[in-house]
Structure 1
Amino acid sequence: MTGAAPDLERLAVLAGRSWRVTPLPGGLTNTNLRVTSDDEVPPRLDLVVRCSQAGAELLGIDRDAECANTAAAAEAGVGAAVVEYRPDLGMLVIEYLDASPLTDDSFADAGVLTRAAHAVRRLHAGPRFTGDFDMFARQASYLSTIRERGFALPDGYESYGDAWSRVRRALAADPRPTVPCNNDLLAANYLDDGERTWLIDYEYSGNNDACFELGNTVTECGFSPEQTEAWVEAYFGAPTAADLARVRLQALCSCYGWSLWGFIQAAASPIDFDFWEWGMERYDKARATFGSGDFERLLEEAASGG
């Protein structure tokens, strides 16, 4: 064992065992540790312990829902099984998946892109999640937090309020059933072993429009227009113009809404990371879409449902 994380000794799964810890990279609201047994007692342990950081309430994270939805994703065949949950310790223990996180460049491989899209489809076809996720509600909540606490907001952010409302109306004109969504599928939350793809990290999970999930990956992974079309086709099979427009508008929603997450973290997080720049990258993408020549067409096509 190691003295680096003494609370690990309080986990039932590690009781009476000899084990060692390896820090895992990534995680802006968690510290992730790989814990493996180094004794001869069966079964051999190979686990990931997700240790929560403080401040989850500012970001709207529900740790109980995260645990329940992680288990549901495992049941759907795309996530790691839950081994132990200790909210009193701020720890969620899941199985270690022997696969590598993707990068933005990984999606240039058509096989990787297709496997990832099929994993998303499996998640969406799986058991319903605990709780719902709506970026319009989340954006309003984050904006309220920023105002109430006097956190910094970039100039001009609120000037897009009318355009934001138009996006909401266009998406509501052709409402779609919600499905279980991760809602935070950046490249590193896809794990791939060359044959199969898993989806990890369910902090922001909830039932949502499938197109938000797809649009979130489009913008987080920097897809080109051609990649976006291939991504939507890999998911839908034979997408309509409305499907593509809806994904592109939801990519805008991801940028405009999640940018506020960055601005909150910039003001409140103790982690040494440039959260302001993280937020600005997404805000700049949102501004580009709001101001693009395609914006009006996207609204019309998404609202048409055809």
Structure 2
Amino acid sequence: MGAANTWDAMDLAAQVPQDHGSQILSSSLTIDPSLSPPEMNPRIIELCKDMFKQWSNLDDSRFDIETVSGGITNLLLKVTVKEENGHDVSITIRLYGPYTEYIINRERELQATKYISAAGFGAKWLGIFGNGMVQSFINAHTLSPSEMREPKLVAKIAKQVKRFHQLEVPGSKEPQLWNDIFKFFNQASALEFDDAEKHRTYKTISFQELHSAILELKGLTDRLTSPVVFAHNDLLSGNIMINEEEDKLYIIDYEYASYNFRGFDIGNHFAEYAGYDCDYNLYPDKDEQYHFFRHYLQPDRPHEVTEEDLYSLYVEANTYSLVSHVFWALWGLIQARMSPIDFDYLGYFFLRYNEYKRQKDKNFSLAESYLSRSMGT
């Protein structure tokens, strides 16, 4: 594996259109996310002073830094600054995981983030630096997988997803799903592992079988003609936050956001009911899915949604949930080779791919039966 490509924060900031007099700050500094807090904190303070000139002369003791979350691709930090006027100001710094540019199109992410933030989703985007971005701090907590399935929150999530899907983001409106999957497949099928045991496990994977599965899935989903929307593509519980006092729900983190098929975004969301332990017994049943669909299709009049529309979206979402398993299975393989994070990515590949195989016959039959009836055959 060669050295990771670097990208220039200044160049990318220049590519993002500005409006309403807003200014996206930028810095060329980079911060190693593997550093311990005592080593990292002085660099975080240096970054803050470099980006926010009003803080450049503040004493370091005025900066308080805490870890919000350490995901399997990013490190999220909260920085609270006691300003000279006595006010406390908090921001969020997100450090990208090493080598994530192999799987995440950072230019696409940054182009989209401008417009998503302007539409009132998530945090306000404040700036970018060598290997991350800075945003306003959201006073809310991240949902747990069990919270995400609570009926009251399901209704809120569905309404927000509908709003998200109505976003208009400049650029190509072509769905990116299959481009990304074939790119992932090409990368995943040409890996070499230094670890002998990992390499032996990797060699048990039939990429011919995987490629056939991808082509078969694409052929089936093409016939469903799922609407193309601006999609989040990673609607797991960790990317949904709620402020219960204000009764406000946020969708955050747009690393995979792009124009895509509606069915993939919803089917992928349902697959994430399984939580971080990938307990697919928690996948929502038909009644739970219909509750989501009603509030997605008719946010103001959920009980007026027709049975026909409910069933159509049910078929669409469950067929695309199969695509979700293959997408993230391939992602896991690439991460198993590229990521230094201590996580069993190789095991994650098998969890997702085996679940695809377990659900394939049932969901293919569902889609084929629906398509036959739709065509009057």
Fold in common (TM above 0.5): yes
* CA 1:154–1:103: 2 relative to 1, 3 Å: farther
User: How large is the RMSD of aligned CA atoms in angstroms?
Assistant: 2.5
Distance change in 2, residues 1:250/1:129 (3 Å) = farther
Q: 2:296 aligns with which of 211, 235, 258?
A: 235
Contact 1:80 1:97 in 2 (8 A): yes
Match of 1:75 among 112, 118, 122: 118
Hey, what does 1:298 align to over in structure 2? 367
Assess if the C-alpha contact under 8 Å between 2:268 and 2:320 holds in 1: yes
- In 1: Cα distance, 2:342 partner to 2:128 partner: 27
Query: Cα deviations across residues 79-129 of structure 1 (Å, max 9, x unaligned)?
Result: 21101112xx21200111111111111133211111111111111112326
Matched, 1:4 2:35: no
Quick check: 1:111 aligned with 2:180?
Answer: no
CA distance in 1, matches of 2:155, 2:203: 38
Is residue 196 of structure 1 aligned with residue 248 of structure 2?
Answer: yes
* CA distance in structure 2 between the aligned counterparts of 1:49 and 1:303, rounded to whole angstroms: 51
- In structure 2, the gaps of 5 or more residues are 1-36, 194-201, 275-282, 299-304
Distance 1:62 1:275 in 2: 20
Q: Does 1:224 align with 2:224?
A: no
Q: Taking structure 1 as reference, are residues 299 and 99 closer, same or farther at Cα in structure 2, changes over 3 Å only? A: farther
8 A Cα contact 1:143 1:260, kept in partner: yes
State the shift of 1:56 in Å.
2.4
Q: Which moved more, 1:119-128 or 1:226-235?
A: 226-235
The reply on whether 1:165 has 2:215 as its aligned counterpart is yes
Distance 1:133 1:150, change over 3 A: farther
> Aligned equivalents of 2:267 and 2:204: distance in 1?
23
**Distance (Å, rounded) in 2 between the aligned partners of 1:200 and 1:227:** 23
Residue 23 of structure 1 corresponds to: 67
> What CA distance in whole angstroms lies between the structure 1 residues aligned with 2:252 and 2:77?
14
The answer on 1:62 being equivalent to 2:105 is yes
Secondary structure at the counterpart of residue 25 of structure 1:
strand
Instruction: Kindly tell me the number of residue pairs found equivalent between the two proteins.
Output: 302
Corresponding residue SS for 2:343: coil
Partners in 2 of 1:286 and 1:248 — Cα distance?
11
Q: Following TM superposition, by how much is the alpha carbon of 1:156 offset from its aligned partner in structure 2, in angstroms?
A: 4.4
Does structure 2 retain, via aligned residues, the 8 Å contact 1:70–1:79?
no
The answer to whether 1:187 aligns with 2:187 is no
TM-score normalized by the length of structure 2: 0.73
How big is the shift at 1:231?
A: 2.0
Task: Give the greater-gyration-radius structure (CA).
Answer: 2
Sequence identity of aligned pairs in percent? 22
Q: Deviations over 1:7-62 (max 9, x none)?
A: 43134124334321101223222221111112344764211111122212321x12
How big is the shift at 1:211? 1.7
Cα distance in 2 for partners of 1:244, 1:53 equals: 35
Residue 270 of structure 1 corresponds to 340
**In 2 relative to 1, CA 166–149 (structure 1 residues): closer, same or farther, beyond 3 Å?**
closer
Q: Provide the residue aligned with 1:98 in structure 2.
A: 139
Q: Which residue of 1 aligns with 2:266?
A: 214
Deviations 1:237-284 (A, max 9, x none): 323422111111111111111111111111221111111222222112
| Distance in 2 of aligned mates of 1:55 and 1:188 | 21
Letter in 1 for 2:289: T
* Candidates 158, 171, 182, aligned match of 1:140: 182
Structure 1 64/228 Cα, relative in aligned 2: closer, same or farther at 3 Å? same
Deviation at 1:157, TM superposition (A): 5.6
Q: Which moved more, 1:149-158 or 1:230-239?
A: 149-158
Cα deviation, residue 300, structure 1? 4.3
Normalised by the size of structure 1, how large is the TM-score? 0.88
C-alpha distance in 2, partners of 1:43/1:129?
Answer: 37
